[in-house]
Amino acid sequence: MIERLEAKRYVERKPSSGDKRIKLLYLTKSGAVLLREVMPFVDRAQARMLQPLKPTDRKTLLALLDAAGRSQQRVLAGAAARRRRSRPSREKLMAQHNERPVLIAGGGIGGLAAALGLAQKGIASILLEKASALGEIGAGIQLGPNAFHAFDYLGVGEAARNMAVYIDQQRLMDALTAEEITHVDLGDAFRARFGNPYAVVHRGDLHGVFLKACQDHPLIELRSARKCWALTRTAPR
Ligand SMILES: Cc1cc2nc3c(=O)[nH]c(=O)nc-3n(C[C@H](O)[C@H](O)[C@H](O)COP(=O)(O)OP(=O)(O)OC[C@H]3O[C@@H](n4cnc5c(N)ncnc54)[C@H](O)[C@@H]3O)c2cc1C
């Protein structure tokens, strides 16, 4: 119901001044006009619903509804104030993280992507790779449209797009008869629907894109020939 009112521009959501994560609903100008028009009908409907009640019960029910509304406002205001008091500032969080950077074991595509993701949030990391050099062998890798959405978030979308090979169709073949079982068209309609293409890349090329982005990022330190031997949990779960 609220979404429909919002779609018709009768209400809008705005962040609360206390806590930006809480969105409060406000009437727009056209919402206020609509409310003025419908209020008499709402009042009449409410009066009809309350009609069968004894006058004292009616009064009690209205007082309870009023109190519930006010108590909800107080709960929301109290929760926002508590969150404001307990939330450390972004600067403090970053300083804490950067005094004790996150350790990442393994410099494959996963480890490098984790380092870039943390860096996007301003969190420093040290990546430890057991091999003597950071690199990737292996063959091709298929990338669905969701991979490119993730690459954009990590800041390597353009570089990945530039070295990808775009395919127009994915075919499933019968291994015994070599006949086509089915196929998926990956052309313009597919790209428009999912907002990104389907592509294939050489694993080493993709790894190179991630590696370069990590090497260039001041919050990421890469160390090769470092094997992680054990993990000890010191923070409470
Ligand atoms: C045959 C095959 C085909 C695939 N095809 C696709 C595909 O088409 N599309 C797709 O999206 N995914 C595909 N995948 C999956 C995808 O390749 C993997 O999920 C992904 O590469 C895993 O990346 P990773 O960084 O987690 O691991 P890895 O690439 O295995 O990297 C792990 C790294 O950690 C290092 N390491 C290990 N132990 C330690 C330690 N103790 N200390 C320090 N360093 C350590 C290793 O040396 C290595 O560099 C395929 C996987 C396989 C096997």
Domain check: are 20 and 118 in the same one? no
Burial (CB count <10 Å: 0-12, 13-18, 19+), residue 104: buried
Pocket lined around ligand 1, Cβ cut-off 6 Å: 105-111, 128-131, 141-142, 227-228
Using the 3D structure, point to which of 86, 116, 144 is the last residue of a domain.
Answer: 86
Ligand 1 centroid–CA 108 distance in Å is: 6
- Predicted structure pTM score: 0.65
Distance between CA atoms of residues 115 and 34, nearest Å? 51
Residue nearest (by alpha carbon) to ligand 1 atom 34: 106
Ligand 1 site-directed mutation target among 103, 127, 141, most atoms within 8 Å of CB: 141
Count of domains observed in the chain: 2
Domain check: are 40 and 107 in the same one? no
Span 87-108, pLDDT tens digits? 566 566 666 666 789 999 999 9
Atom of ligand 1 nearest to the CA of 110: 25
CB contact set of 40 (below 8 Å; sequence gap of 6+) = none
Domain check: are 73 and 117 in the same one? no
Q: Which of 28-32, 71-75, 173-177, 210-214 has the lowest mean pLDDT?
A: 71-75
Q: Where are the beta strands (DSSP E) in 73-155?
A: 102-105, 125-128, 140-143
Range of 63's domain? 2-86
Q: Are 217 and 119 in contact (CB under 8 A)?
A: yes
Q: Give a yes or no: residue 235 inside a domain.
A: no
Atom of ligand 1 nearest to the CA of 111: 25
Residue nearest (by alpha carbon) to ligand 1 atom 41: 228
The DSSP letter of residue 41 is H
**If you search the block for the tokens 């694993």, which residue do you land on?**
203
CATH number of residue 118's parent domain: 3.50.50.60
What pairing do the DSSP bridges indicate for beta strands 165-166 and 199-202? antiparallel
Span 129-155, pLDDT tens digits? 999 988 877 789 999 999 999 999 999
Q: Which of 93-97, 178-182, 187-191 has the lowest mean pLDDT?
A: 93-97
Highest-pLDDT range among 56-65, 136-145, 162-171: 162-171
Domain check: are 209 and 99 in the same one? yes
Domain check: are 73 and 135 in the same one? no
Residue with the bigger pLDDT between 160 and 79: it is 160
Mean pLDDT of the chain: 88
Distance between CA atoms of residues 168 and 104, nearest Å? 37
Atom of ligand 1 nearest to the CA of 229: 41
Residue with the bigger pLDDT between 203 and 138: it is 203
